[in-house]
Chain A
Amino acid sequence: MDSAVQATRDAVEALAGEKYKYGFVTDIEADTAPKGLNEDIVRFISAKKNEPEWLLDWRLKAFRHWLEMPEPQWAKVSFPPLDYQDAYYYSAPKVGKRPESLDEIDPELRKTYEKLGIPLKEQEILAGVAVDAVFDSVSVATTFKKKLEEYGVIFCSISEAIQRCPELIRKYLGSVVPYTDNKHATLNSAVFTDGSFVYVPEGVRCPMELSTYFRINAAKTGQFERTLIIADRGSYVSYLEGCTAPMRDENQLHAAVVELVALDDAEIKYSTVQNWYPGDENGKGGIYNFVTKRGACRGRNSKISWTQVETGSAITWKYPSCILQGDNSVGEFYSIAITNNYQQADTGTKMIHLGRNTRSRIISKGISAGHGAQTYRGLVRIAAKAAGARNHTQCDSLLIGDRSAAHTVPYIETRNRTAMVEHEATTSKINDDQLFYCRQRGIAEEEAVALIVNGFCREVLQQLPMEFAVEAQKLVAISLEGSVG
Chain B
Amino acid sequence: MTAMAALPISTPIPAPIVTAVAGLGAPASLADGANGWRATALRRFAACGLPTRRLEAWKYTDLSSLQGIDFQPAAADLRLADDHPLPQLADQPGHRLVFADGVLQPALSACTPAAGLDVGRLADWLSAADAAAELGAAGEPSPMVALNAALASDGLRLSTAPGIAVDRPVELVFIGGLGEAATASHPRHRIELAAGSSATLIEVHAGGGDGCYLANHVGEITIGEHARLRHVIVQTEGATAYHIASRFVSVAADGRYEAFTLTASGRLTRNEVTVSLNGPGAACVLAGAYLLRDREHCDTTTIIEHRAPHTSCREVFKGVLDGASRGVFQGRIVVHRGAQKIDGHQLSKALLLSDAAEVDQKPELEIYADDVKCSHGAAAGQLDADELFYLRSRGIPEEQARRLLIEGFLVDVFDEVTDDAVRAALFAHARRWFAAPGGPQR
Binding site for B on A (CB under 8 A): 74, 384, 397, 399-429
Interface size class of B (residues with CB under 8 A): 35 or more
B380 shortest CB reach to chain A, Å: 4
B310 shortest CB reach to chain A, Å: 15
Q: In the complex, which residue of chain A has the Cβ closest to the Cβ of B354?
A: A417
A416, B357: Cα distance in complex, Å: 7
User: Which chain A positions have C-beta within 8 A of B364?
Assistant: 407-410
A259, B367: Cα distance in complex, Å: 33
A140 shortest CB reach to chain B, Å: 44
A415, B381: Cα distance in complex, Å: 10
Flag if B350 contacts A427 (CB, 8 Å).
Answer: no
A378 shortest CB reach to chain B, Å: 10
A202, B367: Cα distance in complex, Å: 48
User: Which chain A positions have C-beta within 8 A of B357?
Assistant: 417
A313, B194: Cα distance in complex, Å: 51
With A424-B377, A425-B376: A417-B362 Cβ-Cβ less than 8 Å: no
Q: In the complex, which residue of chain A has the Cβ closest to the Cβ of B335?
A: A427
Flag if A414 contacts B377 (CB, 8 Å).
Answer: no
Flag if B358 contacts A402 (CB, 8 Å).
Answer: no
Flag if B362 contacts A421 (CB, 8 Å).
Answer: no
Flag if B362 contacts A410 (CB, 8 Å).
Answer: yes
A415, B356: Cα distance in complex, Å: 7
Flag if A402 contacts B360 (CB, 8 Å).
Answer: no
Flag if B380 contacts A414 (CB, 8 Å).
Answer: yes
Which of A400, A415, A416, A423 has a CB less than 8 Å from the CB of B379?
A: A423
A409, B333: Cα distance in complex, Å: 11
Which of A422, A423, A429 has a CB less than 8 Å from the CB of B371?
A: A429
Binding site for A on B (CB under 8 A): 56, 337-338, 340, 350, 352-382
User: Which chain A positions have C-beta within 8 A of B369?
Assistant: 399, 402
A261, B363: Cα distance in complex, Å: 31
A427, B335: Cα distance in complex, Å: 11
User: Which chain A positions have C-beta within 8 A of B374?
Assistant: 426-428
Flag if B365 contacts A404 (CB, 8 Å).
Answer: no
With A407-B365, A407-B367: A417-B353 Cβ-Cβ less than 8 Å: yes
Which of B337, B353, B356, B361 has a CB less than 8 Å from the CB of A412?
A: B361
Q: In the complex, which residue of chain B has the Cβ closest to the Cβ of A409?
A: B364
A298, B216: Cα distance in complex, Å: 46
A408, B367: Cα distance in complex, Å: 9
User: Which chain B positions have C-beta within 8 A of A74?
Assistant: 56
Q: In the complex, which residue of chain B has the Cβ closest to the Cβ of A74?
A: B56
A429 shortest CB reach to chain B, Å: 5
A409, B331: Cα distance in complex, Å: 10
Flag if B355 contacts A416 (CB, 8 Å).
Answer: yes
A407-B367, A426-B374 given; 8 more Cβ-contact pairs under 8 Å: A401-B370, A406-B365, A410-B378, A413-B358, A414-B361, A421-B381, A427-B365, A429-B370
User: Which chain B positions have C-beta within 8 A of A423?
Assistant: 361, 363, 376-379
Flag if B371 contacts A402 (CB, 8 Å).
Answer: yes
| Those 7 A-B pairs whose CB atoms lie nearest each other, nearest first | A417-B352, A399-B370, A414-B380, A408-B365, A423-B378, A412-B361, A417-B382
Write 23 A-B pairs (CB below 8 A) sorted by A numbering: A384-B356, A400-B370, A401-B370, A402-B369, A405-B367, A408-B365, A411-B362, A412-B362, A413-B358, A413-B359, A414-B352, A416-B355, A417-B382, A420-B381, A421-B381, A423-B361, A423-B379, A424-B377, A426-B373, A426-B374, A427-B367, A427-B372, A428-B372
Flag if B360 contacts A411 (CB, 8 Å).
Answer: yes
Q: Tell me if B's interface is mostly helix, strand, loop or mixed.
A: strand
A424, B358: Cα distance in complex, Å: 20
Q: In the complex, which residue of chain A has the Cβ closest to the Cβ of B375?
A: A426
Q: In the complex, which residue of chain A has the Cβ closest to the Cβ of B328?
A: A413
Flag if A424 contacts B375 (CB, 8 Å).
Answer: yes
Q: In the complex, which residue of chain A has the Cβ closest to the Cβ of B368?
A: A405
The interface centre, meaning the residue of B354, B356, B362, B367 with most chain A CB atoms within 10 A of its CB, is: B367
User: Which chain A positions have C-beta within 8 A of B368?
Assistant: 405
Q: In the complex, which residue of chain A has the Cβ closest to the Cβ of B330?
A: A411
A401, B368: Cα distance in complex, Å: 10
User: Which chain A positions have C-beta within 8 A of B365?
Assistant: 397, 406-408, 425, 427
A484 shortest CB reach to chain B, Å: 12
Q: In the complex, which residue of chain B has the Cβ closest to the Cβ of A392?
A: B379
A405, B370: Cα distance in complex, Å: 8
The interface centre, meaning the residue of B56, B359, B373 with most chain A CB atoms within 10 A of its CB, is: B359
User: Which chain B positions have C-beta within 8 A of A412?
Assistant: 359-363, 378, 380
A429, B371: Cα distance in complex, Å: 6
A74, B362: Cα distance in complex, Å: 15
User: Which chain B positions have C-beta within 8 A of A426?
Assistant: 373-375
Q: In the complex, which residue of chain B has the Cβ closest to the Cβ of A423?
A: B378
User: Which chain A positions have C-beta within 8 A of B338?
Assistant: 402
A336 shortest CB reach to chain B, Å: 18
Q: In the complex, which residue of chain A has the Cβ closest to the Cβ of B352?
A: A417
Flag if A384 contacts B360 (CB, 8 Å).
Answer: no
With A406-B365, A408-B364, A414-B350: A399-B372 Cβ-Cβ less than 8 Å: yes
Flag if B363 contacts A410 (CB, 8 Å).
Answer: yes
A417, B382: Cα distance in complex, Å: 5
User: Which chain A positions have C-beta within 8 A of B358?
Assistant: 413-415
User: Which chain A positions have C-beta within 8 A of B355?
Assistant: 384, 416-417
User: Which chain A positions have C-beta within 8 A of B362?
Assistant: 409-412
User: Which chain B positions have C-beta within 8 A of A411?
Assistant: 360-362
A411, B358: Cα distance in complex, Å: 13
Flag if B379 contacts A421 (CB, 8 Å).
Answer: yes
User: Which chain A positions have C-beta within 8 A of B361?
Assistant: 410-414, 423
Flag if A413 contacts B360 (CB, 8 Å).
Answer: yes
With A407-B364, A414-B380, A429-B370: A402-B340 Cβ-Cβ less than 8 Å: yes
A177 shortest CB reach to chain B, Å: 23
A106, B293: Cα distance in complex, Å: 70
User: Which chain B positions have C-beta within 8 A of A417?
Assistant: 352-355, 357, 381-382
Flag if A397 contacts B375 (CB, 8 Å).
Answer: no
Q: In the complex, which residue of chain B has the Cβ closest to the Cβ of A429?
A: B370
User: Which chain A positions have C-beta within 8 A of B354?
Assistant: 417
Flag if B373 contacts A414 (CB, 8 Å).
Answer: no
Flag if A407 contacts B366 (CB, 8 Å).
Answer: yes
Q: In the complex, which residue of chain A has the Cβ closest to the Cβ of B357?
A: A417
With A384-B355, A414-B380, A415-B358: A429-B363 Cβ-Cβ less than 8 Å: no
A414, B362: Cα distance in complex, Å: 11
Q: In the complex, which residue of chain A has the Cβ closest to the Cβ of B321?
A: A417
Flag if A404 contacts B370 (CB, 8 Å).
Answer: yes
A424, B347: Cα distance in complex, Å: 9
Q: In the complex, which residue of chain B has the Cβ closest to the Cβ of A424?
A: B377
User: Which chain A positions have C-beta within 8 A of B372?
Assistant: 399, 427-429
User: Which chain B positions have C-beta within 8 A of A421?
Assistant: 378-381
User: Which chain A positions have C-beta within 8 A of B352?
Assistant: 414, 416-417, 419
User: Which chain B positions have C-beta within 8 A of A413?
Assistant: 358-361
A480 shortest CB reach to chain B, Å: 14
The interface centre, meaning the residue of A400, A415, A427 with most chain B CB atoms within 10 A of its CB, is: A427
A405, B335: Cα distance in complex, Å: 9
User: Which chain B positions have C-beta within 8 A of A406?
Assistant: 365, 367
A408, B365: Cα distance in complex, Å: 5
The interface centre, meaning the residue of B358, B370, B374, B382 with most chain A CB atoms within 10 A of its CB, is: B370
Q: In the complex, which residue of chain A has the Cβ closest to the Cβ of B358?
A: A415
Q: In the complex, which residue of chain B has the Cβ closest to the Cβ of A414?
A: B380
A267, B378: Cα distance in complex, Å: 29
A415, B372: Cα distance in complex, Å: 34
A411, B380: Cα distance in complex, Å: 13
User: Which chain A positions have C-beta within 8 A of B375?
Assistant: 424-427
Q: In the complex, which residue of chain A has the Cβ closest to the Cβ of B363?
A: A410
A417 shortest CB reach to chain B, Å: 3
Flag if A414 contacts B363 (CB, 8 Å).
Answer: no
A114, B356: Cα distance in complex, Å: 59
B359 shortest CB reach to chain A, Å: 5
User: Which chain B positions have C-beta within 8 A of A429?
Assistant: 370-372
A423, B377: Cα distance in complex, Å: 5
